[in-house]
Structure 1
Amino acid sequence: MSALKYLLHYPPSLLVQVQARLDDGSLGNWLASRYPDSHAVQSDNALYQYVGELKQRYLKNAPAPTKVLYDNRQHPVKGTLGTNTQISRVQGSKLKAKHEIRIASLFRDAPEAFLRMIVVHELAHLREKNHDKAFYQLCCHMEPAYHQLEFDTRLWLTLRELEPATSPAAR
């Protein structure tokens, strides 16, 4: 079960089920049938608009990110699928805060639901800095299936790493 590094904190009974699906080769087809839709958010400009629409719908009073882009340096092995950074700069006599959201480039190829999950996660950091109860409540407000999507994204990442060229869901 060492191949299930994205799922380490889940119950052992669930890991056994995932391992069984991996062993019989059915995980890729299961994910592909559950998340058949790809997305058209391929450029940084399209991602900026996508993030802006979700932010406007759910977080009208939160500060708008000044930069949103896909980042090749974000990688799940290193523990980051996206980042939300706040940069404070002095401009004249005022302190200005700029927010940047960077999403791992691998989400260009992910199902739309997984992209939405990671964007919701990074947008929630505009209001809640820590991964606490309020943070996850905000994530669930913006995406009611947030926890299921996070789990399924971890399955997709596992499958993508184990079967990068053969699985239809891993593409």
Structure 2
Amino acid sequence: MSFPLEAFKYTSAANVAPGTIVADERGNWYMVARKIGATANQAVRLNRNDNDGALGDLLSTIDERVFAVSAPYTTSIRAEDLFDLRRTQDGPYPGAVMLAEPLAIFTFDNERHLIGLDGHEIDENTVHTRRARIMKWSVWLVDQHGRQVGDRPLVEVDATAQ
């Protein structure tokens, strides 16, 4: 599958808005994130790699240039099955999308954080009382009209295999 090059900007991760999906040159995918009260960008790891961290890691920085999805393209986050929810106090299942207001990705650095799908940290008190999670989801490239670009996602997230 190929993606149009104009859908990506090669830039410093520090210059990218929270919520933007980016990839480094090794093929690692991230969502740019910002914690409450912070001014610097961080990044949520969206895929696994034996050498470079784990799914759901909240990295303090990406010290390199990245391929960032850029206008007029954007991304769409899609659940494999909206109703295949894991409802448990077990876990923590980093990388899962937590049912919260708004929906949020469960992440870790030294402590746990919830990063909304817009890239901004949210208050943990907004999480569904039974801690329901969407375990399998993906990020798709879409054009300015919301139409899917390509026949496969940029990255697939499976938080069940932890």
Query: How does the TM-score come out when normalised to structure 1?
Result: 0.28
Q: Which has the larger radius of gyration?
A: 1
Pick the structure with more strand per residue.
2
Pick the structure with more helix per residue.
1
